[in-house]
Amino acid sequence: MSGNGDAAATAEENSSKMRVIRVGTRKSQLARIQTDSVVATLKALYPGLQFEIIAMSTTGDKILDTALSKIGEKSLFTKELEHALERNEVDLVVHSLKDLPTVLPPGFTIGAICKRESPYDAVVFHPKFVGKTLETLPEKSVVGTSSLRRAAQLQRKFPHLEFKSIRGNLNTRLRKLDELQEFSAIILAAAGLQRMGWQNRVGQILHPEECMYAVGQGALGVEVRAKDQDILDLVGVLHDPETLLRCIAERAFLRHLEGGCSVPVAVHTAMKDGQLYLTGGVWSLNGADSMQETMQTTIHVPAQHEDGPEDDPQLVGITARNIPRQAQLAAESLGISLATLLLNKGAKNILDVARQLNDAH
């Protein structure tokens, strides 16, 4: 009889010693929702582990009176979270992938890229303009966006509108739209509105011919310490192969162009019948000059996973040992080839001028 009692006591002891995985996140409501969704998936996969969420503010959350492109800091929404990773205060961090620079600080890697939601941009209209589209808004209507990429493309497409910077988290921006009479509409990522449960506010979805999206938009990235093999194995199961390959191509394109949030660069990717298609473009700040090209590559997924020795498994900051290396290299190569093509056609000049103008304002 005492044997059963001992077993129960041991089980209880073990459960109280259950390993705790600490997950870092930004404090905004959207960041918490995104982190909760990743943690829920991990809990289902690993019922024997406990997860603790630690929320913190980042530089990008604190500086709200300046356009993102002017702050000139690549890791606006990630630096504080990376410090916590470095100091072992958290084991992994959930980010919007588009916030993660294409070159990560040494010692960090993206250990998982989750299945992408809609990568498109959405238009939310002021209540008095519900039912309109950007095309049918009155002349000189002011549209709010914090993104040079959106403003450049949309100015070119809708010259009758004016574009003005709007900052703050989703809740703040919607409040500014509804309560101030300053904006007729604002542009936000469709995925964020979806995750917040605010689909009913979407008045228009912008398709690639109107506005191509940001690199990595709509996908979540899980950042970890590059040498923490335990945690890399733990989160690696979250990789969505198609999203991963599309995002490797997009990030390689942006990295090779040396773009960031201070210049208008946008992409569109698709996987179809073993082909990966990448369209990429660069714009001048006012959208007057632009350059756009599309390329494709065959993604060969071997029947058997051939894993050779690798010195550095990272590609554009991403580690994915459970996805065929050959496919990852083909995606990276596609991004680099497209960037090279645009640079050879004069994209560097457009980007340099955009960067200088942005710095001067």
Pairwise CA distance, residues 110 & 38, whole Å: 14
Q: Dihedral (C-alpha) 218, 154, 338, 350: value to the nearest 10 degrees?
A: -130
Q: Please list, residue by residue across 265-291, b when 16 or more beta carbons sit within 10 angstroms of its beta carbon and e when fewer do.
A: bbbbbebeeeebbbbbbbbbbebebbb
Task: Give the count of beta carbons closer than 10 Å to the beta carbon of residue 310.
Answer: 10
Query: What phi, psi does 127 have (nearest 5°)?
Result: -45, -35
Structure tokens, 336 = 């680099």
Q: Hey, what amino acid is at 200? A: N
d(CA 334, CA 109) in angstroms, rounded, equals: 21
Query: Are the beta carbons of 186 and 145 closer than 8 angstroms?
Result: yes
CA distance 33 to 91: 19
d(C-alpha 96, C-alpha 35), whole Å = 10
Matching residue, tokens 């001048």: 284
Q: What is the DSSP letter of 119?
A: -
Give Rg (Cα) of the chain: 22
Torsion sign across C-alpha atoms 63, 265, 119, 121: positive
The residue annotated as part of the active site, out of 61, 91, 99, 233, is 99
Reply yes or no on whether 228 is catalytic: no
Give the residue numbers annotated as catalytic, written as ranges.
99
